[in-house]
Amino acid sequence: MIHKRNQTGFSLLQMLIGLTSVLILSAITIPLFLHSKMAANEAAAMGILRTVNSSCIVYSWKWGTGYPVGLSNLGPAKPPSASAADLVDSGVAEGTQSGYALTYVSSAPANGKIRTYTINADPVVSGKTGRRHFFTDQSGVIRYDFSGPATVSSPPVR
């Protein structure tokens, strides 16, 4: 008498083949995902710099004091004032957004007005949240560097 068993499930060989396939796909897709995330963070950082440049112009026009002393002066407030003009969101005003740390430095006031500023946007974790470092100033030109903080002499983003 031969007894036939109804076997359900996978054999060990089928499980090993499936696991190998998953590992190969993971090895291919995870680096691509991380690269895509860095590219998205870099694009967001450039957008933030454009927004801050525009906000600085609006601030200067609206309050008549030149550019703001710091990013916090552009931050949210109801009602807006020179100390919080409600032109950018709180993340930007606090100096960190989309994997980038923002450093804003204004010049000393001349005749009661701040005439220049610089902004650096650097990856929070270089090589993980972004590869490029960015710089801009009141000219509105965004510049980049791969090796460290960008400066006014770094090449412009095209």
Q: Is residue 157 part of a domain?
A: no
Assess if residue 6 is contained within a domain. no
Q: Whole-prediction pTM value?
A: 0.82
Tell me whether residue 156 is in a domain. no
Give the angle 75-76-81 at the CA atoms, nearest 5°: 80
What 3-state class would DSSP assign to 11? coil
Q: Is residue 56 part of a domain?
A: yes
Flag whether 152 is in a domain.
Answer: no
Q: Contact 141/151 with Cβ under 8 angstroms?
A: no
Chain centre distance of CA 97: 5
pLDDT recorded at residue 75: 96
With beta carbons less than 8 A apart as the criterion, state whether 75 and 93 touch. Answer: yes
* Residue 20 belongs to a domain: yes
Residue 66 lies in a domain: yes
Given the structure tokens 């100033």, which residue do they identify?
137
The verdict on residue 151 lying in a domain is no
> Which pLDDT does position 1 carry in this prediction?
61
Q: What is the pLDDT of residue 21?
A: 84
**What does the pLDDT read at residue 136?**
98
Q: Show the domain range for 109.
A: 12-145
pLDDT 10s per residue in the chain (158 long)? 666 666 677 888 888 888 888 888 777 777 767 788 999 999 999 999 999 999 999 999 999 999 999 999 999 999 999 999 999 999 999 999 999 999 999 999 999 999 999 999 999 999 999 999 999 999 999 999 999 999 999 999 98
Maximal C-alpha separation, the chain: 106
Give the total number of structural domains in the chain: 1
Q: What pLDDT, on a 0 to 100 scale, did the predictor assign at position 51?
A: 97
Residue 18 makes CB contacts below 8 A (sequence gap 6+) with 10
